[in-house]
Structure 1
Amino acid sequence: MTINADPQELAKFGELAHRWWDPESDFKPLHQINPLRLAWIQQLSPLAGKRVVDVGCGGGILSDSMARAGAQVLGIDLSTKPLRVAELHAMEAGTEGVEYREVAVEALAAEQPGSFDVVTCMEMLEHVPDPASVVRACATLVKPGGWVFLSTLNRNAKAFLLAIVGAEYVMNMLPKGTHEYARFLKPSELAQFCRDAGLDLQASRGLTYNPVTQRYSLGSDTDVNYLMACRRPG
């Protein structure tokens, strides 16, 4: 199986792995938005007792919080160093109900189809060569009636100005080169990937940042960052 990953992307996040759990580091935005996305997932599909796979888990920020919410979580990624950081953090923090594995989502889908109540894939689709393949694999992994949660970046001038020029070069919220504009996905494109994979779109939300209050919030503005919730028909 051809691995659906960009070696440069894996190396980039590998080099930053030691900073993953520092809330004031390059990953500060992930720490800030994590309570918002966790609450949204919980609202639509309460996690207690659920079996969850977190695709592209990185250092485990979302995986860890879902386990603390009562889920049995498998975090998967293809970048070795962040996975080791995730495992170390779980050990040091005493987080139960979470494990990590270096495996491609497509390979896991072939191995364990229909095995998970919830599948999450956050801030990853814009980093892979074939995002549609990831969505198909997520749809394969989830049980009938289960939920798939996705998030990524819109592709338009506003997203380019705010997510790349603003966040990476002006405000230094993210390391320069974190994102490649051509890989951003319009909501219509992601929605089509979901439909093609047999998923029913249930809800979408936008994630916005207020530079004055330095806070993120969920709302209806999907111009830059957005989330989608889908279900596999039962």
Structure 2
Amino acid sequence: KMSAIRSLRSLLAFSHKIHLFRAFHASKARFSLNVDYQNLSKFYAFDNWWTDERLKPLRAMNELRIPLIVNQLLNDKTINSHKPLSGFTLLDVGSGGGFVSEPLARLGASVTGIDANAQCVEFTNSRLRDRCTQLKSNLNYVHTTVEQFLSNETREKFDAVIASEVLEHIDDVESFIQSCHSLLKSNGHLFITTINQTLAAYLLAIVAAEKLLGLVPDGIHEYNKLVPLLGLKVMLEKNDFRPKLIHGMCFNPITQRWSWTWNTSVNYAIVAVKSLKVKTST
């Protein structure tokens, strides 16, 4: 009798393991669209995104990208309020540690940050709960991909979508662009910062920044995933976006600061506007 009970327990335990195995892979499949899990796993190494020295260049980029977003959304109008983005709904795709989401929420915007990395979302929600309680009403983070996030409720909901340092980590850039287009209101803005696919980018952003200077974690960028500026511009136009602004970005490893430049061969920013579709009479 005891032997039969032990056999039954073993069978139940094995059945439970099979259930967990299937649940894990079902969950992974749900988020697998356009997600490179091998690349994504490199972001699990950061215990605290806001203090890790390896992320200092990424945090410092706010000196450029936050004013860029604000000025473009306000059409370069004079800012007379400490919350100039009140009334704007923004989506931060690949929100990571919340470096972009949080300051935009502090400026009054209603911000949703999404990320395919569960650990990132857990970290940002913990930070929101413990350190940024005043932002709970206008900032939230969701564990999902942009494709999974797209639904009838989110379609044409946002005034702007931000994809900062994201495109170089995904598999299908065009699918990503199409999802962003569907999420935006008419005349909505798409803000992108990424790395060009050039020899200069390989030498500076990968060889120097990762392998020689250790400014960012080694292996976090792959040359074949870097995004050619011309190709991205054509892709945006093909998918009903009008490129509005293109700037080069330069990081000084000595001062640890970013600056705008005419040179787009390494880092660049591009702002595009969702085109209005003109209805033709038949």
TM-score by length of 1: 0.94
Cα distance in structure 1, aligned partners of 2:256 and 2:36: 32
Residue 19 (structure 1) aligns with: 48
Residue 212 (structure 2) aligns with: 170
Q: Which has the larger radius of gyration?
A: 2
Cα distance in structure 1, aligned partners of 2:86 and 2:248: 25
Instruction: Report if the CA contact (8 A) 1:115-1:143 is conserved.
Output: yes
Whether 1:62 aligns to 2:100 is yes
Cα distance in structure 2, aligned partners of 1:179 and 1:156: 13
Q: Residue 166 of structure 1: CA displacement?
A: 0.7
- What stretches of structure 1 move > 4 A for 4+ residues in a row? none
Which letter does structure 1 place at the counterpart of 2:109?
A
Instruction: Report if the CA contact (8 A) 2:60-2:258 is conserved.
Output: yes
Residue 239 (structure 2) aligns with: 197
Whether 1:28 aligns to 2:56 is yes
Instruction: Report if the CA contact (8 A) 2:57-2:256 is conserved.
Output: no
Alpha-carbon deviations, 1:125-176, whole Å to 9, x = none? 0001111111111111000011111111001111001000110011110010
- Count of residue pairs the alignment pairs up: 232
Q: Residue 110 of structure 1: CA displacement?
A: 3.3
Alignment gaps of 5+ in structure 2? 1-29, 75-84, 277-282
Whether 1:187 aligns to 2:229 is yes
Q: Residue 87 of structure 1: CA displacement?
A: 1.1
Cα distance in structure 2, aligned partners of 1:4 and 1:220: 31
| 1:12–1:211 distance in 2 versus 1, CA, 3 Å | closer
Which stretch has the larger CA shift, 89-98 or 110-119?
A: 89-98
Instruction: Report if the CA contact (8 A) 1:147-1:231 is conserved.
Output: yes
After TM superposition, list the pairs within 5 Å mapping 1:1-234 onto structure 2: 3-16=33-46, 18-22=47-51, 24-46=52-74, 47-91=85-129, 92-96=131-135, 97-111=138-152, 112-234=154-276
Cα distance in structure 1, aligned partners of 2:126 and 2:45: 16
Which stretch has the larger CA shift, 209-218 or 67-76?
A: 209-218
Q: Residue 177 of structure 1: CA displacement?
A: 0.4
Q: Residue 3 of structure 1: CA displacement?
A: 1.2
Instruction: Report if the CA contact (8 A) 1:19-1:26 is conserved.
Output: no
Alignment gaps of 5+ in structure 1? none
CA RMSD between the two structures = 1.4
- SS at the partner of 2:203? helix
- SS at the partner of 1:5? coil
Instruction: Report if the CA contact (8 A) 1:154-1:226 is conserved.
Output: yes
- SS at the partner of 1:76? strand
What percent identity do the matched residue pairs reach? 33
Alpha-carbon deviations, 1:16-72, whole Å to 9, x = none? 2x23111x5221111111121000111110333200000111111101111011100
Cα distance in structure 2, aligned partners of 1:109 and 1:149: 18
